Amino acid sequence: MRIKQCLLLVIFWLAVAPMAQADVDARVVRTLQLKTTPLDMAIPGNGRYIYVLTSDAQLKIYKENGTLRDALRVDPGVDRIKPGPKEDRLFLINSANNQIQVLYLDFIHEIPVDGSPVKGSADAGVTVTFFTDFQ
């Protein structure tokens, strides 16, 4: 019987006790200014990129610092996006057609080779670089 009384007392106290106020400090740290209406956005698990789907059927890829890395055209019916298990996969969802496209993103990184030792013609169309000085 004592347990029931304690339980009733706790339930009563929770019902009538004032809600605790928590202090929240909020500040805007970055704003992405778009020229078209954003429909959806996704951030992969590592947070290195921000994917934004816009109303003009473009997928905008922003770096984590807010600079635009690239913009890709997608099917005009795509209305949502979801990140995949890795940063190079993105699911494009077309609700009207009941379709999901799996998009594989291959991020191309340029490696500056200016000033590197050259064997052969310095103005060749292809440059092969060997990193042999690593231990």
Q: What is the pLDDT of residue 53?
A: 96
Q: What is the CATH number of the domain that holds 50?
A: 2.40.10.360
Range of the domain at 93: 36-108
Q: What is the mean pLDDT of the chain?
A: 82
**Residue of 119 and 6 predicted with greater confidence:** 119
Taking the chain, what is the end-to-end CA distance rounded to the nearest angstrom? Answer: 74
pLDDT at 20 over 70: no
Distance CA 70, CA 73 (A): 10
101 falls within a domain? yes
Per-residue burial over 104-115, b = 16 or more CB atoms within 10 Å of its CB, e = otherwise: ebeeeeeeeeee
pLDDT at 132 over 80: no
Number of compact structural domains in the chain: 1
71 falls within a domain? yes
pLDDT bracket for residue 23 (50, 70, 90):
confident
Q: What is the pLDDT of residue 25?
A: 87
119 falls within a domain? no
Distance CA 99, CA 63 (A): 28
CA dihedral of 63, 64, 65, 68, whole degrees rounded to 10: 20
10 falls within a domain? no
For the segment 50-65, the average pLDDT, to the nearest whole number, is 93
In which order are the strands placed within the sheet that holds 49-54? 38-42, 49-54, 58-63, 68-73
Distance CA 52, CA 46 (A): 16
65 falls within a domain? yes
pLDDT tens, residue by residue, 72-128: 999 999 999 999 888 789 999 999 999 999 999 888 878 777 777 777 777 777 777
45 falls within a domain? yes
